[in-house]
Amino acid sequence: MYRQFYQGMDWTHLPLFALLFFLAVFLGVVAWLFLARRSQDFEAAALLPLLDQGPSRQDSGGTGHE
């Protein structure tokens, strides 16, 4: 099957096919990311750094060596 596909094909065509394939995959992932309407997931992830995670550690102001 591969021999029939590659028969008569120059090696210069293969990078073009690879480029088009990876471009299609990249555009598919970008479309899935922006068209999936996953704003709730993004909002929850954006709030993670602001959540209170218990008592805060106090900075000693030094290098930590005693």
Q: What is the pLDDT of residues 25-39, one digit of tens each?
A: 999 999 888 877 777
Residue with tokens 């394939």: 21
Is residue 20 over pLDDT 60?
yes
Mean pLDDT, range 13-21, rounded to an integer: 88
pLDDT at residue 15 in the model: 85
The radius of gyration of the chain from alpha carbons, rounded to an integer in Å, stands at 26
Q: Which residue has the higher pLDDT, 22 or 11?
A: 22
pLDDT one-digit tens code per residue, 39-65: 777 788 888 888 876 665 555 555 655
Q: Cα(52)–Cα(22) distance, rounded to whole angstroms?
A: 42
Q: Cα(55)–Cα(61) distance, rounded to whole angstroms?
A: 18
